[in-house]
Each structure stands twice: as C-alpha cells, then as structure tokens.
Amino acid sequence: MSALRAVEIIEKKRDGKRLSAEEIAFFVDGFTRGEIPDYQMSAFLMAVLLRGMDPRETTELTMAMVRSGERLDLSEFGRVVDKHSTGGVGDKTTLIVAPLVAACGLPVGKMSGRGLGFSGGTLDKLESIPGYRVQLTTAEFLSQLRQIGIVVAGQTKDLAPADGAMYALRDVTGTVPSIPLIASSVMSKKIAGGAHAVVLDVKVGRGAFMKDLPSARRLARLMVQIGKLASVEVVAELTDMDQPLGRAVGNALEVAEAIATLRGEGPADLVALTIAAGSEMLLVGERARAARQARGMIERAIADRTGLAKFRELVAAQGGDARCVDDTQRFPRAKRIREIRAPRAGYVADLAADEIGRASVRLGAGREKKGDPIDHATGIVLHAKVGARVAKGDVLAEVHSDDRPDDDEAFALAAKAFRLSPRRVRPRRLMLGRVA
C-alpha cells in the first residue's frame, strides 16, 4: 500500500468518494498525535459536512475517535446504560432521570457536557449548587459509582480527546450541523465512556441542531447503526424542541425545577419525558422486562422520593451543598424579576425555543463562546406554553436578570418568542417517534 497523505484524503472526500477504514484511522490518529494540523482537519470536516459519510465510514470515524484516548471498562457494574440528549433549551432531564434510574438499582455513571450557544449543559446547571465538583479523575468516578451507584461529572480529558479537539474546530469553522459529525461525536463519547447501552434523546425543532423530523430521524438511525456495528445497544427517542422543555430556562432555575420534579411537582411535559427516558433505560439495562413495569418503577421512585434521596446523595458525594435539595432558596438568585404579560387575550400559538434560548444567553445564563463565564442565577421561567389560554395582562414569563447591559434586549427577545392567536391552539406533541 502506498503511503497515505492527508491532502489526498481531504481531496477524496471533497470529490464525494468513500474513505477506507485505513484512511479515516490515518487522519484521526495523525490529528490526535499533532502530525496533521488544524487547518487540514478543518478542511476535512468541511468536506465531510458537504459530501457526507455513509454509516460504515461514520462508524470507522467514531471508532478512530474512541481509540484516540482511553476506554472505560465498566463491566464490574454489570450492564451499564448511558443517556444522552442532543441538547436544547430547558432540558434538565438528566438531573431527574439519572437519580431515578439509580434509585431503581441501575448504576448511572454519566459524563455530561457544558452548554454552548443557546443549548444548556448539565455541568453548568450542576455548578449552580455551591461546591458541586464536576471534574473527577477516572479513579474518583469509579469509586463513587461503586459506593452510591451514581456519578454525574464532566468527561475526563483522556476520553475521546479527538472529539474535543475536533468539536473545538467545528465550532469555529461552521461544521457543527453535519449528521455524520454529530453522530460520531456523540457515539465516540458514549462508547469510550464504557456504556453497554445508550438511550438517546434526539431533539427536533428550532431549539435543536436538527430542525425537522426527517433529519432527526436520519441522525437517530445513524447512531443506532453505529451502535450495532460497535456492539452497543442504542434506542433513540425523537422529542420536540420547538418550544423549551418544562418551565425553567437557566441554570439554578432548572436545577430547582429538576428537584421539584423529583418531588412529584414537575410540569407535565418534563414528567412525561422523564418517565419515557427513565423507563427506556431500565428496559435496555435489563432491570425491567416490560414497558409498563419500567414506567411503574420510575413513577414509584418519584412517589416514594427515593429518586430525590439519590439526588441528595449525588450532590453530597460530589462536594455540593446538599441542603439546596431541600431548600432551593439557597441557590443563587437574580437581583431582579420582570414579568412579560399578555398584550391581549388568546391562546399561546408559538413559543420559540431558540429565541428563549438566545434571551437567556443575553441574561448571562449561557455562553456565546467557549470559556465565557456563566451567571447561574439568571434565566426565564415560562408561565404559559403552547396551547395555554391567557387573559389580557396574564403573566406569560418571568425574566430573572442581574443588571447586565443586555437585559432590556433579552427581555424584548423573550417577549418576541411568544405569539398569541385568538383561536384555540392544541398543545404541542412532545414524543415524536422512536428508533431502535
């Protein structure tokens, strides 16, 4: 075989040809070792975005990213199930599902990410609990999983490092929204993290990477296929992200809502998603045999508060102030709360997740670029969602702000996210499909 050259691999993909396993491995390995520079990786990523990859190439890319670092061996815990959401606005499901599932006896060792753009991140949310430590070593991660059966932490640096470096380039070269690149990025982390099965929540709508159902279904199918080729069982739920999930958007506000949900006081859409994702995890984790049994287990863990107790245990184990779990007044609180009121009577016909997400970033709850600091107290609490009937002057949302220069703009953006109709509007469907 003649020696491989990075430029020829880029040209081959640029011209729409399929790459071999050796070519993909050569490129990712060379990049990981620092022998292939960022500019060639950027060109490669753009070629993939424009020309695509088939499932076999995407699996090769995924496995090359897995091989770029260590792969956790969690076999001592039996069957380990991970959960991953492709990200959205107000998505605090992990904070609820992980303790519920762990309370049902299925170990959850979850590596989560930070928010970027208007998509929130579980780590940022957890850091609104004073003292909560997200950066654990692999040894700490394993020891906590053995002791209490739950960990929610950041990805260790040694896990799929090629993904971290490639994502940083994608973020600044316009190459994030590519189905094979998203699929390989997500799956490489899940496989390197030692999961035997993965429950994916593929979000669809204006607040998600995938704006329409056919693209979300393609992404979900591809991840299921990668899982099959890599011997990891993958089940994907397709769920609505056209309006935010639940009522709270913003870090401490979302953790408080997650705690309320664990107490049995959550908003209907969040509860529905929690039960769906939690029962899928129990099924693929072989803790339940049938969907009804799995749902019953999750519902019981909410009703008897064993999920809430597990969350308290998690917070304490990772150095957080566990008193916050019983007294959410201890969370950081914004200086000012302003209300958005309905200008006329009607039905909420539209509540744009992307606009609410952008407004919350302006309030300081998210970051425009990697490394920006986060204000954990700020955000938006929605009082009316699509389908709700409102009278003139009713509160549509509360805007929690901390006296930043962009506060007025954020308020206007959040107000613009609502569209009222004089005619009755149906609530949006949350669960849009399933791929397994």
Q: Is 170 a catalytic residue?
A: yes
Find all residues with CB under 8 Å of 335, minimum gap 6, and list them.
401, 402, 403
**Taking the mean position of all CA atoms in its chain, how far away is CA 227?**
18
Asked if residue 277 binds ligand URA (CB under 6 A), the reply is no
Binder among 89, 165, 182, 210 for ligand URA (CB under 6 A): 182
Contacts with ligand URA, 83-112, as mask; x by CB under 6 A: ---xx-------------------------
* Closest alpha carbon to 280 in 204, 200, 183, 217: 200
- Among 82, 91, 124, 163, the one annotated catalytic: 163
CA distances from 116 to 135, 366, 371 (A): 18, 7, 9
CB contact set of 188 (below 8 Å; sequence gap of 6+): 62, 63, 65, 66, 160, 162, 163
Q: Interface mask (CB under 6 A) for ligand URA, residues 32-61, using x and -?
A: ------------------------------
Tell the smallest beta-carbon distance from residue 86 to ligand URA (Å).
5
Q: How far is the CB of 283 from ligand URA (least distance, A)?
A: 24
# binding residues, ligand URA (CB under 6 A): 7
- The distance of closest approach from Cβ of residue 87 to ligand URA in the complex, given in angstroms and rounded to an integer, is 6
Of the two residues 206 and 287, which places its CB atom closer to ligand URA in the complex?
Answer: 206
Give the Cα separation of 161 and 96 in Å (integer). Answer: 28
Instruction: Give the range of 96-104, 182-190, 233-241, 284-292 binding ligand URA by CB under 6 A.
Output: 182-190
Matching residue, tokens 């609410």: 356
Q: Does 186 bind ligand URA (CB under 6 A)?
A: yes
Site string for ligand URA, 285-324 (x = CB under 6 A): ----------------------------------------
- Stretch in the footprint of ligand URA (CB under 6 A) among 178-186, 285-293, 294-302, 412-420: 178-186
Minimum CB distance to ligand URA smaller for 215 or for 328: 215
> Minimal distance in Å, beta carbon 209 to ligand URA?
6
- Of 13, 83, 84, 385, the catalytic one is 84
Site string for ligand URA, 209-228 (x = CB under 6 A): x-------------------
CB of 119 to ligand URA, least distance (A): 8
**SS3 annotation, the chain:** CCCCCHHHHHHHHHCCCCCCHHHHHHHHHHHHCCCCCHHHHHHHHHHHHHHCCCHHHHHHHHHHHHCCCECCCCHHHCCCEEEEECCCCCCCHHHHHHHHHHHCCCCEEEEECCCECCECCHHHHHCCCCCCCCCCCHHHHHHHHHHHCEEEEECCCCECHHHHHHHHHHHHHCCCCCHHHHHHHHHHHHHHCCCCEEEEEEEECCCCCECCHHHHHHHHHHHHHHHHHCCCEEEEEEEECCCCCCCEECHHHHHHHHHHHHCCCCCHHHHHHHHHHHHHHHHHCCCCCCHHHHHHHHHHHHHCCHHHHHHHHHHHHCCCCCHHHHCHHHCCCCCEEEEEECCCCEEEEEECHHHHHHHHHHCCCCCCCCCCCCCCCCEEEECCCCCCEECCCCEEEEEEECCCCCHHHHHHHHHHCEEEECCCCCCCCCEEEEEC
Least CB distance to ligand URA at residue 408 (A) = 31
Q: Which of 112, 185, 261, 318 binds ligand URA (CB under 6 A)?
A: 185
Pick the stretch among 61-69, 142-150, 180-188, 351-359 that binds ligand URA (CB under 6 A). 180-188
Shortest reach from residue 357's CB to ligand URA, in Å = 15
Shortest-Cβ-distance residue relative to ligand URA: 185
Q: Which of 13, 114, 170, 376 is catalytic?
A: 170
Q: Are 429 and 234 in contact (CB under 8 A)?
A: no
Tell me if residue 163 is catalytic: yes
Among 119, 128, 185, 279, the active-site one is 185
Taking the complex as a whole, the smallest distance from the CB of residue 73 to ligand URA amounts, in Å, to 22
| Known active-site residue 185 | yes
Which residue among the candidates 114, 189, 190, 206 is catalytic per the annotation? 189
Chain contacts with ligand URA (rule: CB under 6 A): 86-87, 181-182, 185-186, 209
- Catalytic center residues: 84, 163, 170, 185, 189
